[in-house]
Amino acid sequence: MKRSKKYVDSCKIYDINSFFDSKKALEICVQTAKAGFDETIEVHIRLGVDSRHADQQVRGVLVLPNGTGKDVRILVLCKGENERFAKEAGADFVGSDKFINKIQNENWFDFDVLITTPDMMAVVGRLGKILGPRGLMPNPKSGTVTNDVGKAVKDAKSGKIEYRLDKTAILHCPIGKASFGSKKLIENFDALLDAVIKSKPEASKGQYIRSCTVACTMGPGVKISVGSFGQNAA
């Protein structure tokens, strides 16, 4: 695969085959962010679990201490007084039938997070085939199906992320922007790592965290030594 000049130059900053502690890896990652926009820093963690089994799933949510740096557009599907709570909390779009019809009939997806109340799920559930593939289907486990829509909106706006395994037992999570600098990124990384370790399934056997890589949107990956995570990651 042919790489851009900036990508090739980034690879000269460090030995791409070497492993680093998380602090050094994120410092390198910030250095490799050479694109003409504020690149997102992502973490990719491969776990020693079998994602085909329900008792080895790893999934959770957390609010990153320094947020994600992304302006999150939130749609809240609700009725009655909850509409006021959602608007006061800063939701971008609030309502019910109007937006459901826009999604169904106009293929409208000008939002990043969908929050709804339990009483709306019978209707929202019909949108599963449309929302699911886009990762927008609300779920009680992620806190996006709740009666406290105000808190859910504030959490999403302040940097709430969801982590979950893909089919290859890898977690992919954003932890901020290159402009954050390494200090804030390290704080976010440590918060994510702590949450993932606490989510370790009892059925997990052998080494839990197999590998970890960080990378900016357009840059090469930087490998982190999992030995630096301590015994809880084993």
Domain spans, the chain: 5-68+160-233, 74-157
pLDDT of residue 66: 94
- Architecture of the 74-157 domain: 3-Layer(aba) Sandwich (3.40)
Residue 130: pLDDT above 90? Answer: yes
- What's the rounded Cα separation, in Å, for the pair 64 and 176? 9
- Nearest by Cα to 168 from 54, 49, 61, 56: 49
Give yes or no on whether 5-68+160-233 and 74-157 have one common fold: no
Least confident of 9-13, 152-156, 179-183, 214-218: 9-13
Query: What does DSSP assign to residue 39?
Result: P
The CATH class of the 5-68+160-233 domain is alpha beta
Q: What angle do CA 8, 14, 19 make, to 5 degrees?
A: 125
Residue 87, CA distances (Å) to 76, 140, 157 in order: 9, 21, 13
- What's the rounded Cα separation, in Å, for the pair 150 and 40? 27
pLDDT of residue 151: 95
User: At 234, is the pLDDT very low, low, confident or very high (cuts 50, 70, 90)?
Assistant: low
* Segment 151-195, tens digit of pLDDT: 999 999 998 888 989 989 999 999 999 999 999 999 999 999 999
User: At 232, is the pLDDT very low, low, confident or very high (cuts 50, 70, 90)?
Assistant: low
* Segment 27-78, tens digit of pLDDT: 999 999 988 899 999 999 999 999 889 899 998 989 999 999 988 999 999 9
pLDDT of residue 230: 65
* Most confident of the following: 7-16, 51-60, 180-189, 198-207: 180-189
